[in-house]
Amino acid sequence: MARVFNFGPGPACLPLEVLEEVKRELPEYLDTGMSVMELSHRSRDFDKILHASSDSLRRLMNIPEGYRILFLQGGASLQFSAVPMNLMKNGVADYIVTGYWAKKAALEAARYIRVNVIASSEDKNFSYIPNLSTLNISSDVDYVYICQNNTIYGTRFPFLPDTRGKVLVSDVSSMFLSEPMDVSRYGVIFAGAQKNAGPAGVVILIVRGDLISDDVPSFTPTLLKWKTQADSDSLYNTPNCFGIYVCGKVFNWIEKMGGLKEMKERNEKKAQFLYDYLDHSHLFKGTADKDSRSLMNVTFVTGDEALDKEFIAFCDANGLKNLKGHRTVGGMRASIYNAMPYEGVEKLVLVMESFERAHHL
Ligand SMILES: *Cc1c(COP(=O)(O)O)cnc(C)c1O
């Protein structure tokens, strides 16, 4: 069985070079005589892996000195709880609700603090990013929360909102490392690794040092307190050692490929090719507003559910996998993360053209 083009939203495709390297090192990692899975998380060898991964990420994203990088567990979803617990002072925050994940984060935060939804695109099934120039940010909020790329709806913030000096928290799970980011504009950035950085089971948190505090509500679980994790260098308990190791390999791969600027160019080229086709197609139609389109998740429909289903089966037979859209949007979604080569998108467009020729009356 040859490798397929995997358009899944996450867990998602990883660079083949990384998989080959992991395979080579699997039974005996360097001179340890064992695999990374068997290394003690307290060993010098693992300590080196952890620091190499962290250093590589810091170089890639140009993360300023004052920010900490933490490798945590519980997925991006557990940070939905950790964010309000660690940042609450006045006990109120503003949320911009642009999709399923932002809504879930807002609902979770509302269990602990007062949540103002200051903008939402739910009226049109989250197909656009709301107007960011008319936001009503209150003076007493502890932070402003966004989900910067909406995996399910194929939208991305075209620019960052002006938070009037308030801490900006961003869930970047599905756009992490896809383009350069100015980290200094954020208080907190987090991403589940399984979209664009590695295997499932690791969540990467980048947090400004002054936001890491002992002053959290007494009900905050020890493991959810960022201070616990920061003080122990992500080693308070056993971390996802193997996952962190693979993430480090992916970071190295991106550095070798030319870094985030290069990733952005490649990703723009891939997305442009697919969107150009969608904009000219008589059969397929993009579902996201043009101004809000994601570089990573491209959502589209034919407008006929039975035809969508037939198209997905046709893709499947052609080695193009996991194109089914999320149940709340229907249709198709092509997730074209860093590891998806241009050839994958080319093949997808070819298959779409041939399907369109056969089906458009
Ligand atoms: C996938 C995803 C999540 C959920 O991640 P888990 O690691 O499964 O908790 C949250 N936010 C965004 C934007 C996602 O794409």
Determine the distance from the C-alpha atom of residue 218 to the mean position of all C-alpha atoms in its chain, rounded to a whole number.
30
Task: Quote the CA–CA distance of 181 and 245 in Å, as a whole number.
Answer: 23
Q: Determine how many CB atoms are found less than 10 A away from the CB of residue 48.
A: 12
Residue count (the chain): 361
| pLDDT at residue 1 in the model | 67
Q: Which atom of ligand 1 is nearest to the CA of 174?
A: 15
Query: Active site includes 195?
Result: yes
Residues 184, 189, 193, 194: is their CA dihedral positive or negative?
Answer: negative
Ligand 1 neighbours, Cβ below 6 Å, are 10, 75-77, 101, 147, 151, 171, 173-174, 192, 195
Query: Active site includes 215?
Result: no
**What are the residues whose beta carbons fall under 8 Å from the beta carbon of 230, sequence distance 6 or more?**
68, 70, 207, 212
Which tokens sit at 119? Answer: 């903008």
DSSP-based three-state secondary structure for 146: strand
| pLDDT at residue 2 in the model | 87
Instruction: Check: CB of residue 57 under 8 Å from CB of residue 220.
Output: no
Phi, psi of 17, rounded to the nearest 5 degrees: -55, -40
Task: Quote the CA–CA distance of 213 and 86 in Å, as a whole number.
Answer: 7
pTM over 0.85: yes
| pLDDT at residue 36 in the model | 98
Choose among 5, 71, 61: nearest CA to 254. 61
Name the stretches of the chain with pLDDT < 50. Answer: none
Which member of 94, 101, 226, 270 is catalytic? 101
Query: Angle 188-191-192 (CA atoms, 0-180°, nearest 5)?
Result: 145
Task: Quote the CA–CA distance of 253 and 187 in Å, as a whole number.
Answer: 27
Bridge partners, residue 147, by sequence: 171
